[in-house]
């Protein structure tokens, strides 16, 4: 009878160890999933911020081009010949700047949405 009694405590320790290991494994899996969600969100946020920076640089360059073109026209125009908005290059620059500003607003809204989504995540 003693051999059976000896097996019971061993099995009991094995079951406890197995249960503890399974709990550690489940906790690790949950932590890994949370980390992956966070990394994905950070990736999305970073991509959006890079896009915002690119749009801001383009907007700055186009605004500088517009200013230069306006200066060229203003320098060469007499008082009776003010036709700035009839210049094709100026019209194109104004339209492009308007498009860039709209794209920048969309990216800013996307960044705000991502940030809001991050704030809504449950903390573990």
Task: Indicate the pLDDT class of residue 115, thresholds 50, 70 and 90.
Answer: confident
Percentage of the residues of the chain whose pLDDT score is greater than 90:
42
Query: If DSSP states are collapsed to H, E and C, what string results for 11-73?
Result: HHHHHHHHHHHHHHHHHHHHHHHHHHHHHHHHHHHHHHHHHHHHHHHHHHHHHHHHHHHHHHH
The predicted pLDDT at position 107 comes to: 92
Judge contact between 28 and 76, C-beta under 8 A.
no
Query: Tens digit of pLDDT for each residue in 86-109?
Result: 778 888 888 899 999 999 999 999
Q: What is the mean pLDDT of residues 28-41?
A: 93
Q: Which residues lie closer than 8 Å to 117 by C-beta, 6 or more apart?
A: 41
Using the structure block, give the residue that is written with the tokens 């915002």: 52
The predicted pLDDT at position 120 comes to: 53
Judge contact between 59 and 94, C-beta under 8 A.
no
For the chain, what are the domain ranges? 10-119
Two tokens, residue 43: 């990736």
Give the whole-angstrom CA distance, residue 106 versus residue 99: 11
Q: What is the mean pLDDT of residues 42-62?
A: 93
Q: What is the mean pLDDT of residues 65-93?
A: 76
A 10 A CB-CB count for 82 gives 11
Q: Is the pLDDT of residue 84 over 60?
A: yes
Q: What is the mean pLDDT of residues 35-47?
A: 91
Considering only the C-alpha atoms of the chain, give the largest distance between any 2 of them, rounded to a whole number of Å. 118
The predicted pLDDT at position 82 comes to: 61
Dihedral (Cα; 86, 90, 93, 98), 10-degree rounding: -50
Which residue, among 62, 54, 63, has the nearest Cα to 103 in the 3D structure? 54
């Amino acid at each position: 009878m003693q051999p059976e009694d000896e097996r019971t405590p061993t099995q009991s320790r094995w079951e406890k160890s197995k249960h503890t290991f399974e709990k550690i494994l489940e906790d690790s899996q949950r932590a890994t999933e949370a980390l992956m969600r966070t990394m994905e969100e950070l990736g999305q946020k970073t991509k959006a911020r890079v896009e915002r920076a690119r749009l801001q640089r383009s907007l700055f360059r186009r605004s500088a081009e517009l200013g230069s073109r306006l200066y060229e026209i203003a320098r060469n125009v007499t008082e009776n010949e003010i036709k700035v908005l009839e210049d094709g290059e100026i019209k194109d620059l104004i339209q492009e700047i308007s498009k860039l500003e709209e794209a920048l607003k969309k990216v800013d809204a996307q960044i705000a949405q991502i940030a809001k989504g991050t704030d809504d995540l449950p903390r573990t």
